Amino acid sequence: MSDRILGAACLVVAAGMAWAAKDYAAPISYEPVGPRAFPLLLAGLMAAGGAWLVVRPSAHHSGLGLAQVRTLGMAVVAVFLYAALFQWLGFTLATALMAVPVGMAFGGHWRQALAAGVGLGVVLFLMFDKLLDVVLPTGLLAFVLGGR
């Protein structure tokens, strides 16, 4: 039952995100996609995940154990640190580091989560930077690579 409650909460939050992002507009349009695309994409993904949690067949289990609560707490802290350090670390590095505790919360090994995070960070950075022409912070990698 807690999965269904989480799914319903995700649907409500996704609706709020979509409603908040509907009026996002840049005063000077220098990016082809604009500022509303990313929050709307995230809201759509969150709504899809929330809807799945609401309608999927439920597994009978006794709830969260202490280890699961600890792992989930690490993932939540990682997301908040991601937001706080995003500019300084840069998109790619922050995404790679955030993926470790989040991946482990979903049952992955830390090496798998780090590899997936690095791949995700690099691919998404290239997609946003080259394909969509959206500027993302490079952070510490700018000093290492000598770029922007």
* Residues 12-48 pLDDT 10s: 988 988 888 877 776 666 666 666 777 888 888 888 8
Predicted pLDDT at 146: 66
* Residues 49-97 pLDDT 10s: 888 888 887 665 556 677 767 777 787 788 888 888 888 999 899 999 9
Predicted pLDDT at 64: 60
What average pLDDT does range 96-119 have in this prediction? 88
What CA–CA distance (Å, rounded) separates 105 from 69? 9
Q: What stretch of H or E contains 10?
A: helix 2-21
Q: Is the pLDDT of residue 147 over 80?
A: no
Q: Which of 123, 102, 121, 100 is nearest to 112 (CA)?
A: 100
Predicted pLDDT at 86: 86
Q: What is the reported pTM? A: 0.59
**What's the Cα-to-Cα distance from 75 to each of 39, 56, 96, 97, 107, rounded to whole Å?**
20, 23, 13, 11, 12
82: tokens are: 């991601």
Which pLDDT band, with edges at 50, 70 and 90, does 1 fall under? low
